Amino acid sequence: MSTRGQDPVAATVERVVAHLREHGHRITMPRRAVVDTLARAEGHPTVEQIAADVAERWPGMHLTTVYRTLETLAELGVVTHVHLAAGTAYHLADPASAGAGTHHVHAQCRSCRRVIDLPDGILDGVRRELAASEGFALEPHHVALSGLCRGCAATG
């Protein structure tokens, strides 16, 4: 609660807002709301979860608006998405990489649906192998790997 570094969420929102403005987009409350929610979010919320979260603080905001806002933010590279076995999850792009595309790799538990982040280089070996043998340019961050997390593997 000191002066510097105060409220990282607000700082993130301002950063994104500035980015929007620079690219000729208008700053509206719904957009702030979505960015704010993403900045606060832990993990990788789906559109549905984002909308629910937004609705708690800014009631009346329409689901359509969430979709369109995410689309706009994605075009700017501010937001990244991952395809899960069911649905798509969104999260703010790594601030440091600001458009450089330093995403991380994701894995999703098919039982509890939780998403975990993996070190970025974990698929490097496979990527090289695929490039050499198949000429396939793997994009490791676009789709989540599937499996069972520690907890679910133990229980189930």
Provide the binding-site residues for a second copy, judged by CB under 8 A.
Answer: 83, 85-86, 107, 109-110, 116, 118, 122-123, 125-126, 129-130, 134-140, 142-150, 153
Contact between 27 and DNA by CB under 7 A: the answer reads yes
25 sits near DNA (criterion: CB under 7 A): yes
Q: Which of residues 73-92 bind DNA (CB under 7 A)?
A: 87-88
- DSSP reduced 3-state for 91: strand
- Taking the C-alpha atoms of residue 51 and residue 72, their distance in angstroms, rounded to an integer, is 16
Dist. CA 27–CA 35, nearest whole Å:
11
Tokens 């991380």 locate to: 104
Residue placing its CB nearer to DNA in the complex, 60 or 119:
60
- 146 near DNA, rule: CB under 7 A: no
For helices 8-22 and 63-76, the axis angle rounded to 10 degrees is 70
Region of 148 on the Ramachandran plot (φ > 0 left; ψ -120 to 50 alpha; else beta): beta
10 binds, among a second copy, DNA, none (CB under 5 to 8 A by kind): none
Q: Does 60 bind DNA (CB under 7 A)?
A: yes
User: What is the rounded distance in angstroms from the CA atom of residue 35 to the CA atom of residue 69?
Assistant: 9
Tell me: does residue 49 bind DNA (CB under 7 A).
Answer: no
Structure tokens belonging to residue 50: 């984002």
Give the nearest distance from C-beta 121 to a second copy in angstroms: 11
The contact set with DNA (CB under 7 A) reads 21, 24-31, 46-48, 60-65, 67-69, 71-72, 87-88
